[in-house]
Structure 1
Amino acid sequence: MARSVALLLNDGRATERTLTALKLAERILARGHRVSVFAHDTAAALSAGTGEVPAAVAALLRRGVHGGTLDWVVEADAAVAMGVADRQAPGVVPGDHADLWGFVRAADLVLSVGVG
């Protein structure tokens, strides 16, 4: 039976924690489970621009197009404040804390990765 995992990111730096979270999301998807990522605060920049982390996010989203079940939502206000709202990877959806609550409520497992 497929499970639903919500992954909450709040650190926009390409740290070992962030990269491990992306690898974890990839493995969860590969096992046929649904992954919902909510990136808030500075983590809204993880899926923007070019570089290792945005490329990894784009690859995960492409996997979602090809049969995986991945949702990636960034906090719209944070993305606008950081000037990255128009540079998000294809498939990233701007949202708010209502989306976060929806992910958490629907998930079988919630993981929070980052600071704080």
Structure 2
Amino acid sequence: MKRKLLLAVGCSVLSFSALAQVGPDYLHHEHERGREEIGARLQRQGQHIDKAVVDGVLTTDQAIRLQEQDDAIAHRMVQLGAMHGGHLTFEDVRMLNHDLDEVAAELGASGL
């Protein structure tokens, strides 16, 4: 159990390493808000997942699956930024928020 918990926490650290690839100089100032919004949601959601494991609401396997979904969203954010000249479009932010909403709904269905 302790090993799986460490693995789950390690996965959340990996998801934020993908966010670190996008520096503040990489994006235009007017489009940073979308990236910051998505990054903040990913961070909060990762904290909720970690807390759910500690509280016994989620198993470590469930937490790993949710964290992998968050990792995929973070990776997609980096890819979309690269595709659109270094910024996220309104549609990109809408799509990423939708994906985060789906993961949050799964987390909420777990009793959090």
Larger Rg: 1 or 2? 2
TM-score range, shorter-chain basis?
under 0.3
Normalised to the residue count of structure 2, the TM-score between the two structures is 0.25
**Higher relative strand content:** 1
